[in-house]
Amino acid sequence: MTMLDIDGIAVSPDHYIDGRRVPSTESFELFSPIDQRPLGRIAEGLAVHTDAAIAAAEQAFPAWSALGAAERKPLLDRFAEEIGRRADAFCRLESVDAGVLLSRMRHGVVPRAMLNIGWFAQHALSLQERPIETEQAHHIVRHDPAGVVVIITPWNAPLMLSTWKLGPALAAGNCCILKPPEWAPLTCSLLADAAHAAGLPPGVFNVVQGTGARTGARLVADPRVARISFTGSVPTAKLIAQAAGANLVPCSLELGGKSPFIVLEDADLDGAAATGALMYRNAGQVCLAGTRFLVHEKVADAFTAAMRGYVEKLTVGDPREESTEVGPIIHPRQVERVQGFVQRAVAGGAQLLWGGAPHDFGAQYFQPTMLTRLQQTDEIVQNEVFGPVLTLQTFSDDDEAIALANGTDYGLGGVCYGATAHATAVAERVRTGFIWVNSFGIRDLAAPFGGIKRSGIGREGGDWSFEFFCDIKDVVVPKKPFKASFSHR
């Protein structure tokens, strides 16, 4: 295929396998969520491509893993630098391809993508060998690379989540195959250019594009794969886990969220309301957002009025404009899904506080929406919408708030606003992988990230990433001469 021209940015539609671009006899059409215009055709990963990528990674693994963390670090540092050199292209490309706010790409995503690579390259230096001394022996605990890693990322944050997984996987000494989201694959293709320019050896990093049902399914079912890291939906995760289970391949699964946003009676209502409006960013297509507002009944009216004031100031529009705060939903199918949730909820007796319909800016834009008068068993309370749609329920005391917060099958994140000691005590009782007290979105690469229940398996970040991407080995050296004996005395 010829190069695609996306608003003046040249990007390859082909796969990247064993250090070179590889075309396909089959392709699929890509459209921009901003205005539904076609962006071009993207190479579809067939069996020949998945097989070639896994073979290339296998072949590259002995030399890459033998380098050691200190020798891999300069190459990975250059990889981060090459991402930085292409910062403007990454920003504009993902905005057109995935509808992400251009301002968020510039100030948040691209700097974080660079950090994802560089930070883990540095952190790997501390994980080479860890001694444990016992009375009988010296134990040398090693973090050895596992082998071929398959990484599958979602369409709501392709660049950030790809580098979040690639950073520790590559730093640990693995060779990776990235399967980008079919609805937003372009920045992953540009990521291959950055890796190539940085001098990563052929086969160490590969990109195979395609659908989950075809390309992804082949990758996760291959017995040569040593690890699978996936961020996405629960139904897809179940299919991946089934395929991986047949080969006993460990999986890291970061899945959906239906996180509570708790507002206690002693909360700073204006601060909580301002933070609440942030839940609409990226058109609500953020897994860790607090989408279920649980508000103490004594402050519910005041909080609702305060949040309405912030929501009414939000600008819905083209994500490339600096003034835009809520952009498009990724795909017409996702728009239908979001609208269906709202319509069924209203038909079932829910009340719209605001929003509830497509936005007049364009076909893939939806009004920031809040629904109330809901039961805990309602579909929209229990299931992830993944759009700019929130729900509001009230409670009378802490026990009821916690029961509501824990009353879904999800457990990814959460937010709790209140007097610090009070909010912290409530937060500690919420069953979730992480929860922010009087804040939102504070992340540190050294801290664990992941969910419980249907929100996932495993943790990413810091040592936890390396625990997953490595084989942990204990080399045991006795302190005294060892004498073999069958005696039980």
Question: Which residues form the catalytic set?
Answer: 254, 287
CA nearest 177: which of 71, 56, 2, 265?
56
CA nearest 254: which of 206, 290, 288?
288
Cα 367 to chain centroid distance, Å, stands at 24
3: DSSP letter? P
* H helices, E strands: number in the chain: 16, 24
If DSSP codes are grouped into helix, strand and coil, which group holds residue 44?
coil
Neighbours of 107 (CB within 10 A): 12
Cα 107 to chain centroid distance, Å, stands at 18
Cα separation, 182 vs 93, in Å, equals 15
Cα separation, 306 vs 161, in Å, equals 33
Phi/psi of residue 448, nearest 5 degrees: -75, 145
Cα separation, 441 vs 47, in Å, equals 39
Report in angstroms the alpha-carbon separations of 81 from 74, 164, 207.
Answer: 10, 16, 19
Cα separation, 269 vs 481, in Å, equals 69
- The residues pairing with 145 across neighbouring beta strands, listed in sequence order, are 470
Cα separation, 450 vs 461, in Å, equals 9
- What's the token pair of residue 32? 């921009």
7 dihedral zone (left: phi>0; alpha: psi -120 to 50; beta) = left
11 dihedral zone (left: phi>0; alpha: psi -120 to 50; beta) = beta
316: DSSP letter? B
CB distance 239 to 152 below 8 Å: no
Cα separation, 94 vs 181, in Å, equals 12
CB distance 406 to 385 below 8 Å: no
CB distance 351 to 393 below 8 Å: no
